[in-house]
Amino acid sequence: MAPKGDIEFLHGGGTYERLQKNSNKQSYTVFADINSTIIIQTFYFPGWRIWLDGKETNIEPLRDPEKIGRIIIDAPAGVHQVTAKFTNTPIRTIGNTLSLISLIVLIIFWCKISFNDKNI
């Protein structure tokens, strides 16, 4: 069954208001009637981090077998600000740096070959 919105209450209940949603950041105001487990309808991938009221919280993508892979967090009763950000991991940062270095080396090599061809 397809999700009905950005957030689903797995246990407990309440409502939410979307403040921002794009490919690497999502922000919501969550109104939890009671202590709740909520699912952010985004598949977990290393690099996603979640803050509940400004404090980083654990993500549990394996907690529910029917919702496996989704971002699942606990929220106590009350009004909360939930922010999800997709950040770089150390290996992704290394890969991006190596790609940039490779691009610079290729540009330098291409410029050197082009300059040498004009001098012949």
Q: How far apart are CA 6 and CA 17, in angstroms?
A: 9
This prediction has a pTM of: 0.76
Note the pLDDT tens digit of each residue in 66-81.
888 899 999 999 999 9
Task: Assess whether pLDDT exceeds 70 at residue 120.
Answer: no
pLDDT at 112: 87
Mean confidence (pLDDT) of the chain: 91
Angle (CA) 101-104-107 rounded to 5° is 150
Amino acid at 57: T
Question: What DSSP designation does 66 have?
Answer: G
pLDDT at 68: 84
pLDDT at 61: 84
Q: Which helix (H) or strand (E) holds 36?
A: strand 36-43
| Residue 111: exposure state from Cβ atoms within 10 A (0-12, 13-18, ≥19) | exposed
